[in-house]
Amino acid sequence: MDFLKKLFAGFFRKQAPQLIALTAPSGAGKTTIARHLLKTFDELEFSISATTRQKRAHELDGRDYYFLTKEEFEQKIANEEFVEWEEVYEGQFYGTLKSEIARIRRTNKLVIFDIDVKGATSIKRVYGDEAMVIFIKPPSPEVLFERLRKRKTESPASLEKRINRARRELAYEDKFDRILINDELQTALSDAEKLIRKIL
């Protein structure tokens, strides 16, 4: 009888997530945490997003993003090649290619995403329990907005758009599997490591 209990317990045990999505408003620290996890765990591989925005000087196609023209991106939408996509800012599209997830999964590694909240919602809807979505939360909205201001990389109008978007995205936290507060960075990195170790 004990043998049968163990057998059925193993059979029905919930499968460990195969996809890990870090999501947050801009400025909350998800990219920093994702990079740290990739350096810490060989079992993870980063899902490279496709985008129509201009490539920056330090970026490489196929490493930082798959850089597409608007026409190429729209053709892939028509061909249903994306798991999720969004026009994040006017004229700037971002998306996750189905082929990219398949590529990583063939290597038997866990897929890790650094993705906006709407994209993370789509990943969760498509993959269900196969995906664990971690919402990176700032200690307060005010701290987040101040971080964005200190970047000094945008015009006042562009910064205002980003802050308004971040304010809307903060309301998504209850839609995801885990919430990780990024107040003190080293603590947040340690907490993120603990979450990944539980999966591995």
**pLDDT tens column, 16-63:** 899 999 999 988 999 999 999 999 999 999 999 999 999 988 999 999
pLDDT at residue number 43: 97
Domains of the chain: 15-199 (3.40.50.300)
| C-alpha distances in Å from residue 143, one per residue of 56, 124, 146, 150 | 27, 28, 5, 11
Q: Are 33 and 48 in contact (CB under 8 A)?
A: no
What percentage of the chain carries pLDDT values higher than 70?
93
Quote the pLDDT of residue 84. Answer: 95
Over its C-alpha atoms, the chain yields an Rg (Å, rounded) of 18
